[in-house]
Chain A
Amino acid sequence: MILPRWRWWFLGALSLAVVIAAIYLPILRRNIKQAAKLQQRSEEQARRELTQPTVINPSDPKVKAKLFWASGADDGTLSAVTVDLPLSSEPVLRAKQVLNTLLAGPVDTELRTLPPDAALLAFYLLPDGTAIADFSEALATSIPSGIESEQMAVDSIAKTLAANVPQVRQMKILIHGQEMETLAGHLDLSQAFVVNANAVSPRADNAGTRPSTSAGQQLTPAATAVKLAASPNNAATKQ
């Protein structure tokens, strides 16, 4: 039996429609899933932003805070700048206040150590004095890549904490809640950095006004903190 010509065309068009539908439907399903996931993520981001209050409270007593930015000598060194800031006596809030001021940057933007679009997402202080600072992805993606620039960024954070929040013994940096192998390809973020080997216990001292004496110390990975804590000379620092 010979089919009329129009029927061949009809069958051909039908087959083509089936093939296109077979391709189209899985793609449509995947795109709907992706869109739903993206929306969920942006809602979570918005929630996180809402849970980050503006931490500067003008009613807190003004103290002379030491913030560490680039010295301007172009040799990888930092220098302390004293700023009058209303700081909380509660260590976590105080740490957020000084780190947000550090992120805001100095008057001379050339002396920045952290990217202007980086933000502190969360800050925790564990009972053993370990601080966990969670920064936005911009800290890793916008920082100039290199050993010197990445070391300066971490040094400025750690020295600023050491000078203003005496309860912080060591610091672990997370990027958007994740542990990263490096900051921007060079500096090791898989381990914590010693901030102040002589830190006071966050439990024992909540005053947060005791000045730190180790702001200028060379920062070392946390493995050294273990060694120091175990040393008889540092028995007083044990929790």
Chain B
Amino acid sequence: MLLDVGRIVRNSVRETFWVTVFVAAFFAALGAAAPSAGQGGAPAGAPQTQPQPTATPSAASGTPTQNVTPPQAGLNIVVLDPAHGGTDLGARGTGGIHESDIVLEFAAQVRTALEAQGFQVVQTRQGNANPSFDDRSAMANGQRGAIFVSLHIASTGTAGTARVYVMNDMAAGVDATGLIPWDRAQAPFVSLSRKFGDQVQVLLAQRFKGSPAVVQTASVRQLRTTAAPAIAVEISSVTVEDRAQLDHMAPGIADAIARGAAAFRPSYVVPANPGERP
């Protein structure tokens, strides 16, 4: 096996130079800062740590999550999930549009519309964080009487259309303890998810021409571990030339989700405890 020794040595010299410069700069900065030592306080530009959800898959068995509200009777909680975030930008458009940014802005409008319908809204992320799929699911699984809505922007599809996805039919797992297995948490809720999805999709089809009339099925990872009626709403698309085209869709999307959730409310008999079958 032959190695390019010259290249390796050159690279190492370059790295050594920069490390030395860094070390020198560090000590120089330390010397300059020494007179003011002891004053304390974080630098003005220091990033603020964001509270992260601490929920783990064990929340499926009823462990409450950090930023969820106490369970109440009836369907009154919507867990709203702006997908992606952090280093995961999601779909990327040619004009610098990122799915992770847009869904966060959509979520703000959806939240307002849901609250106007009397729902309490829990968001899986508020800022540019990226909780894991399981952490996001845990926010719904630790609740009683919650539904789950994941927001996405596609890279494909006719611009100005929107689709609702639910999980394919899954075989419900049998657990000796009577709990729903985490990796198939959606299984007992698929038919309810479809009912909820249909309510929303009908409204979207009325509002956005070219959208399908019925809910679509897909193996969406986020939905699989969610033990609640759960849908993913995908809007087309990040490839629009003008970002305003997407922004104009936000009120219609928010209204359809909120009215769909309100229409679904009477048909959902809430399980007695979080994590139980419907």
16 additional A-B pairs beyond A27-B15, A27-B16, A220-B168, beta carbons within 8 Å, are A27-B19, A28-B8, A28-B12, A32-B3, A36-B1, A74-B156, A75-B212, A76-B157, A148-B218, A188-B219, A190-B183, A190-B221, A193-B219, A220-B219, A221-B219, A223-B187
Given contacts A144-B91, A187-B218, A188-B219, is CB(A221)–CB(B168) below 8 Å? yes
B237 at the interface (CB under 8 A from A): yes
Across-interface contacts of A218 in B (CB, < 8 A): 168, 217
The CA of A96 and the CA of B228, in the complex, are separated in Å by 40
Q: How far, in Å, is A96 (CB) from chain B's closest CB?
A: 24
The CA of A149 and the CA of B236, in the complex, are separated in Å by 11
By the criterion CB–CB under 8 Å, are A145 and B133 in contact?
Answer: no
B224 at the interface (CB under 8 A from A): yes
* Chain A positions 163 through 191: 1 when the CB is less than 8 Å from some CB of chain B, otherwise 0: 00000000000000000011001111011
Of A144, A145, A154, A220, chain B has the most CB atoms within 10 Å of the CB of: A145
By the criterion CB–CB under 8 Å, are A186 and B13 in contact?
Answer: no
Which of B90, B157, B216 lies in contact with A74, CB distance below 8 A? B157
Across-interface contacts of B218 in A (CB, < 8 A): 147-148, 151, 186-187
By the criterion CB–CB under 8 Å, are B91 and A145 in contact?
Answer: yes
B171 at the interface (CB under 8 A from A): yes
Given contacts A147-B234, A149-B155, A151-B219, is CB(A23)–CB(B170) below 8 Å? no
The CA of A32 and the CA of B124, in the complex, are separated in Å by 44
Of A43, A146, A190, chain B has the most CB atoms within 10 Å of the CB of: A146
By the criterion CB–CB under 8 Å, are B91 and A146 in contact?
Answer: yes
By the criterion CB–CB under 8 Å, are A20 and B152 in contact?
Answer: no
By the criterion CB–CB under 8 Å, are A74 and B152 in contact?
Answer: no
Interface size class of A (residues with CB under 8 A): 35 or more
Q: How far, in Å, is A93 (CB) from chain B's closest CB?
A: 28
Considering the complex, give the chain A residue whose CB is closest to the CB of B156. A149
Considering the complex, give the chain A residue whose CB is closest to the CB of B153. A146
Considering the complex, give the chain A residue whose CB is closest to the CB of B235. A146
Which of B1, B20, B216, B219 lies in contact with A39, CB distance below 8 A? B1
B32 at the interface (CB under 8 A from A): no
Of B23, B158, B216, B221, chain A has the most CB atoms within 10 Å of the CB of: B221
B11 at the interface (CB under 8 A from A): yes
Which of A75, A149, A221 lies in contact with B158, CB distance below 8 A? A75
Contacts A/B (CB < 8 Å), 10 sampled: A27-B19, A28-B12, A35-B8, A74-B157, A146-B234, A148-B156, A186-B152, A187-B221, A220-B168, A221-B224
Which of A27, A35, A227 lies in contact with B171, CB distance below 8 A? A227
Across-interface contacts of B210 in A (CB, < 8 A): 75
By the criterion CB–CB under 8 Å, are A188 and B1 in contact?
Answer: no
Q: How far, in Å, is B274 (CB) from chain A's closest CB?
A: 23
By the criterion CB–CB under 8 Å, are B84 and A32 in contact?
Answer: no
Q: How far, in Å, is B239 (CB) from chain A's closest CB?
A: 9
Nearest first, the 10 A-B pairs at minimum CB distance are A144-B155, A146-B154, A188-B221, A220-B168, A223-B171, A227-B171, A145-B91, A28-B12, A24-B16, A188-B219
Across-interface contacts of A32 in B (CB, < 8 A): 3, 8
